[in-house]
Amino acid sequence: MKKRWISIACFMALMAAIPLRSQTAGNMVYNPSFEEYRRCPMKIDALGVMRDADAWWQPTQGSSDYFNACGSRECNVPRNKMGFQEAHSGEAYCGIYCSQERYREYLQTELITPMVKGKRYRVSFWVSLADKSPQAIATIGAALTTRRLEDTTRGILMQREISEIDGYNSQSILLPIEPQIINSPENILDNTKEWVEVSGEITAQGGERFLTIGNFQPFNKSNIILTMGTNTPLSGAYYYIDDVSVVCLDTAEVPVVEPLKAAKEGEIVTLHNLFFATGESEVLQQSYNELVKLKNLLLKNPEMRIELRGHTDNQGSIDYNQKLSEARAKAVVDYLVGKGIDRRRLSWIGFGKSQPVSDNNTAEGRHKNRRVEYRILAQ
């Protein structure tokens, strides 16, 4: 997709009072204003992982932040560790650090449905510079991709490609990411009082399903200026982000979540897109799309009861894997209960490493063996 420079538009504070529903009709973004959350944010951790806001995660080792009116003093709205700002809508927003070459933060999410080739989309999000930010930049943007952008870096997010040298050797190459939506470098985003919209229109190549927000430009191309930020815990530009939107301009249809495969009583179905940190049981936010499908299945079938079944690969002891598989299955149950599903409809069991479906001698095989399934007990 061709990159386009776009202009910015500032709205006065009263614009935040417009009902969210009118701003997000046909929006393909889950939890666009970060109002849905698993827990209230309690701490800004420089080495932490953002696990509080539903459907959003950080694609690098940079620690993006979540702010909510229910949060602690550090993470509250409107007053928090980074300054004072009312939400653009609702009571929550996120924050990312955007300027330094060696340290950047990004936000990533999976769209409700993939983009359709040839159709036009409007992409937008709102930003506000934190009061305590000593710098401001121009080039915040949004990249839409067919696959997740992720890396272990704490610096600029780049796309990792595997290049084959010959039949036996290959090398990993880092390539710059060209965001399709990028704020014009002439328009410094230095407003700490009002929210500023970054937006643009694109034509889809087809299949784009991941949205990543941040600054993809190097330090010397970000048009950085110094601000009046004082008493700051930061050494660069920090922005609040709110009300993210991706809307198809060529259709009035509301995006619909693709349903899970229909199954019969007694059938076992694998949840293919659940993600856990190594050795941990908490379901990561990257799993949101799959969990929504499972929740919707249960809501659509109020008599259905299911059993969650956890499995691991063969790395580690029998006892360790047994406990981990049980904990991961229970984590899915706890998530569904937190979203309003009656616990009496859910049970869980762990099988450890006793039921592999693939070869544990390969990385791909071990990945397939680390899974959570559900079995329909009644419907």
Is 90 exceeded by the pLDDT of residue 236? no
Count the domains in the chain.
Answer: 2
Does residue 258 form part of some domain? no
Q: What single-letter amino acid sits at 144? A: L
Indicate if 44 and 124 belong to the same structural domain.
Answer: yes
What is the pLDDT averaged over residues 122-149? 96
Does residue 255 form part of some domain? no
The structure tokens listed for 134 are 């000593």
Residues in the chain: 379
Q: Which of 88, 89, 71, 17 is nearest to 80 (CA)?
A: 71
Does residue 262 form part of some domain? no
Does residue 259 form part of some domain? no
Indicate if 112 and 239 belong to the same structural domain.
Answer: yes
Indicate if 272 and 310 belong to the same structural domain.
Answer: yes
Indicate if 62 and 165 belong to the same structural domain.
Answer: yes
What integer pLDDT is reported at residue 233 of this predicted model? 67
Does residue 317 form part of some domain? yes
Phi and psi based region of residue 147 (left: phi greater than 0; alpha: psi -120 to 50; beta: remaining) = beta
What is the pLDDT averaged over residues 296-316? 94
Round the average pLDDT of the chain to a whole number and report it: 89
Indicate if 222 and 335 belong to the same structural domain.
Answer: no
CA 284 to chain CA mean position, Å: 10
Indicate if 213 and 93 belong to the same structural domain.
Answer: yes
Question: String of b and e for 229-239 (b: at least 16 CB within 10 Å)?
Answer: beebebebbbb
Indicate if 203 and 347 belong to the same structural domain.
Answer: no
Q: What is the CATH number of the domain that holds 29?
A: 2.60.120.260
In angstroms and rounded to an integer, the radius of gyration of the C-alpha atoms of the chain is 22
Domain enclosing residue 322, as ranges = 268-378
Does residue 253 form part of some domain? no
pLDDT class of 170 with cuts at 50, 70, 90? low
Does residue 341 form part of some domain? yes
Indicate if 243 and 280 belong to the same structural domain.
Answer: no
Is 70 exceeded by the pLDDT of residue 348? yes
Indicate if 305 and 201 belong to the same structural domain.
Answer: no
pTM greater than the 0.85 cutoff: yes
What is the pLDDT averaged over residues 201-214? 97
